[in-house]
Amino acid sequence: MPKIIDGNAAAADVLARLKVAAQQLTAETGVVPGIAVVIVGQDPASKVYVASKGKKAKECGFHSTEDALPTHTTEEELVALVEKLNADPAIHGILVQLPLPDHIDSGRIIQTIAPEKDVDGFHFINVGKLGTGELDTAFVPCTPAGSMILIEREHGRDLSGLNAVIVGRSNIVGKPMANLLLHANATVTIAHSRTKNLPELCRSADILVAAVGRPEMIKADWIKPGATVIDVGINRISGGSNGKTRLVGDVSYEEAATKAGAITPVPGGVGPMTIALLMANTVTSASRAAGRAFALEAYG
């Protein structure tokens, strides 16, 4: 059996350290890390995510606010709220929960967030910094950043000589994941649903990251024996107990576990790390606002 990569345990370790860092920052500078979460509409999944993020922020001792806006909120009203939060010195991280209603341009909203408060890492300035290797000043998207910590715990920070394959090319996971792996000296290939000979390509990977958004797409015979498999997918399918749905990843877990050397489960793998890294980015932002340095690598 492979090593099961426990994202809950890794996230708990990160959060415990963040609590100490936040307390120390406040004691020495008077700055309390502050995060503002904005949600528009009544999407059930978004409401669950927002509640979870708010709970973790409070557990870390942060100042946390939530603006829950009705679905009919206009784009201009949302822009005005983001600009107000940009100007608020008590807020160091701004998270606008996606997806937004169809009448609001998500891209415009993301680019309205001040780059220094963009703890999701989606602003073009942070994207550009990550792409050019300026990790010391960039905010990295939380899911790939959390995935990278799990990889580093298995292989160390220098991935020289290892082949990494990412299945998925999204701006939120696939592309930033590739940049992080390149920064760690891995040889990286980005694949997707239209890649020819995809199973064969996946079998070349020492590190396989699944972020394609297709339930249980990656089978056991796609995996190199002993590979580290990071499953970013979160898909709800039928077949749960009592007729309910169940959560699965992009990897067929039971099959893959017969081949992988280490693997993340779904749930309990990458998901907890995403929220933990959002908190870490908030501490980083607050530290910078106080003229202090705070390195994400401290949690690797």
pLDDT digits (tens, 9 = 90+) for 117-145: 999 999 999 999 999 999 999 999 999 99
According to DSSP, the residues that pair with 153 across neighbouring strands are none
Do the strands 93-96 and 34-40 form a parallel or antiparallel pair, or are they unpaired? parallel
Rounded CA gap, 87 and 64, in Å? Answer: 16
pLDDT, average across residues 241-269? 93
Of residues 296 and 294, more confidence is placed in 294
- Cite the beta strand spans of 22-162 per DSSP E: 34-40, 63-69, 93-96
**Is 121:278 a contact under the CB 8 Å cutoff?**
no
% of the chain at pLDDT higher than 70? 98
For residue 241, pLDDT over 90 is answered with no
The token pair that represents 187 in the structure block: 């040889």
End-to-end C-alpha distance for the chain, whole angstroms: 25
**Please, which pLDDT band fits residue 298 given cuts at 50, 70 and 90?**
very low
170 annotated to a ligand binding site: yes
> Which of 91-95, 128-132, 193-197, 296-300 bottoms out in mean pLDDT, i.e. has the lowest?
296-300
Residue 129, C-beta contacts closer than 8 angstroms, at least 6 positions apart: 135, 137, 138
For residue 116, pLDDT over 80 is answered with yes
Residue 189, C-beta contacts closer than 8 angstroms, at least 6 positions apart: 163, 164, 165, 166, 201, 204, 205
Q: What does the CA dihedral 185, 191, 196, 199 come to, rounded to 10 degrees?
A: 80
* 3-state SS class at 233: coil
Burial 171-188 (b: 16+ CB within 10 A, else e): ebbbbbbbbbbebbebbb
The token pair that represents 234 in the structure block: 């979160």
Q: What is the distance of C-alpha 150 from the center of its chain?
A: 12
The token pair that represents 75 in the structure block: 């784009």
Of residues 193 and 188, more confidence is placed in 188
Q: What is the pLDDT of residue 46?
A: 84
For residue 300, pLDDT over 90 is answered with no
**Is 273:153 a contact under the CB 8 Å cutoff?**
no
Q: What is the distance of C-alpha 125 from the center of its chain?
A: 18
**Please, which pLDDT band fits residue 50 given cuts at 50, 70 and 90?**
confident
**Please, which pLDDT band fits residue 299 given cuts at 50, 70 and 90?**
very low
**Please, which pLDDT band fits residue 13 given cuts at 50, 70 and 90?**
very high
CA atoms within 13 A on the CB side of 194: 1
pLDDT, average across residues 180-203? 96
pLDDT, average across residues 21-50? 93
According to DSSP, the residues that pair with 190 across neighbouring strands are 166
For residue 193, pLDDT over 90 is answered with no
Rounded CA gap, 66 and 71, in Å? Answer: 15
% of the chain at pLDDT higher than 90? 87
pLDDT, average across residues 27-47? 93
Rounded CA gap, 228 and 5, in Å? Answer: 9
Domains of the chain: 29-115 (3.40.50.10860), 142-271 (3.40.50.720)
pLDDT, average across residues 186-200? 95
Q: What is the pLDDT of residue 296?
A: 57
For residue 24, pLDDT over 90 is answered with yes
Q: What is the pLDDT of residue 260?
A: 98
| 251: DSSP letter | B
Whole-prediction pTM: 0.94
234 annotated to a ligand binding site: yes
What Cα–Cα distance (Å) separates residue 256 from each residue in 37, 40, 195?
A: 36, 38, 20
Span 138-189, pLDDT tens digits: 999 999 999 999 999 999 999 999 999 999 999 999 999 999 999 999 999 9
**Please, which pLDDT band fits residue 49 given cuts at 50, 70 and 90?**
confident
Q: Which residues are catalytic?
A: 53, 97, 120
Q: What is the pLDDT of residue 297?
A: 55
For residue 43, pLDDT over 90 is answered with no
According to DSSP, the residues that pair with 205 across neighbouring strands are none
